[in-house]
Amino acid sequence: MTVALVTGATGQDGGYLVERLLAEGTEVHGLVRGEDLGGGPVPDGLVVHECDLGGPAADVAAVVDRVAPDELYNLGGVSSVAQSWAEPLLTTTVNGTAAVVLLEAARSTQERTGRPVRVVQAASAEIFGEPEHSPQDERTAIRPVSPYGAAKALAHHAVGIARARGQHATSLVLYNHESPRRPPSFVTRKITSTVAAIAAGRADRIVLGNLDARRDWGWAPDYVDAMVRAVRHDTPGDYVVATGEAHTVRDFVAAAFARAGVEDWERLVTVDQALVRPADPSLLVGDASRAREELGWAPTVGFAELVARMVDAEEPS
């Protein structure tokens, strides 16, 4: 039986990934921070290992050694770019250094057991910062502009170094991927939850930051599918995972209001400068040709469908 270890198992992607792996009959272990255990639901059947990615390296490595997984998915860490500006040190540790710890633990575990430990790292389009060209691909210069991007860049480079040493280690440069499980700290869910509240008469306006930022928003379970394909692909590598389509935050707002049946919505949107970030990539859009060709991956949900699913999943009035 395949054994998988997932960090960040209680997050959006972790939840979808754990459910998928369990459904396939994989034995799934999750590395979960103590404080996350009380919060969201822990999927039935997940073997929980209480451990903080930001804690002592020896504790994290001990879990990897004990589980001795065939597949190690590193999805844990500070998930929000916005939060990374408030906590740059924590972000560097859990999104950056922890990947090095896991890669080292994977290497020593496979040396001990003689069985490979394949690693998939969830990197991010934020590693490209303000790219000069769009769309970005695996050859785009890595030049982050946020603490989040810098930490993910460290993890991405660490994967490349491990691979050069012979490890089966893959880094997926994931563009924004959303679902009804996104917390409202992300702009998509903030928009869909507030628009639903406005439609139901529970709120009277939405306050946002940069409306002109353009993002390549995909459907989270599709990105989880890329992770599974990547780990099971014979050769490891770096892959951009994206839809290839960019939309502004304003487009998302318009689509959400339209789906909720609210007309004349422009007057309901206020911009607060406090929500505009110190540095914010204006256009992130990815070219996933390599993932399409080598992994046989393709997104299944487009922009309009994504917005519709998220709006429809909000609390009814």
> Known catalytic residues?
124, 126, 148
When the beta carbons of 4 and 253 are compared against ligand GDP, the nearer one is 253
When the beta carbons of 81 and 291 are compared against ligand GDP, the nearer one is 81
Helix (H), strand (E), coil (C) string for the chain: CCEEEEECCCCHHHHHHHHHHHHCCCEEEEEECHHHHCCCCCCCCCEEEECCCCCCHHHHHHHHHHHCCCEEEECCCCCCHHHHHHCHHHHHHHHHHHHHHHHHHHHHHHHHHCCCCEEEEEEEHHHHCCCCCCCECCCCCCCCCCHHHHHHHHHHHHHHHHHHCCCCEEEEEECCEECCCCCCCCHHHHHHHHHHHHHCCCCCCEEECCCCCEECCEEHHHHHHHHHHHHHCCCCCEEEECCCCCEEHHHHHHHHHHHHCCCCCHHHEEECHHHCCCCCCCECCECCHHHHHHHCCCCCCCHHHHHHHHHHCCCCC
Q: Which among 273, 298, 278, 280 is positioned nearest to 288, based on CA atoms?
A: 298
Point out which residues bind ligand GDP (CB under 6 A). Answer: 80-82, 176, 185-188, 190, 208-210, 213, 215, 249, 275, 277, 280
For residue 189, the minimal CB distance to ligand GDP (Å) is 8
Closest-CB residue for ligand GDP?
213
For residue 246, the minimal CB distance to ligand GDP (Å) is 11
When the beta carbons of 5 and 246 are compared against ligand GDP, the nearer one is 246
Amino acid letter for position 71: E
When the beta carbons of 104 and 245 are compared against ligand GDP, the nearer one is 245
Give the C-alpha distances (Å, rounded to integers) separating 225 from 3, 147, 155, 195, 202: 17, 27, 21, 29, 36
Instruction: List Cβ neighbours of 141 (8 Å cut-off, separation of 6 or more).
Output: 128, 131, 132
For residue 208, the minimal CB distance to ligand GDP (Å) is 4
For residue 184, the minimal CB distance to ligand GDP (Å) is 9
When the beta carbons of 187 and 226 are compared against ligand GDP, the nearer one is 187
When the beta carbons of 249 and 285 are compared against ligand GDP, the nearer one is 249
For residue 204, the minimal CB distance to ligand GDP (Å) is 16
For residue 313, the minimal CB distance to ligand GDP (Å) is 17
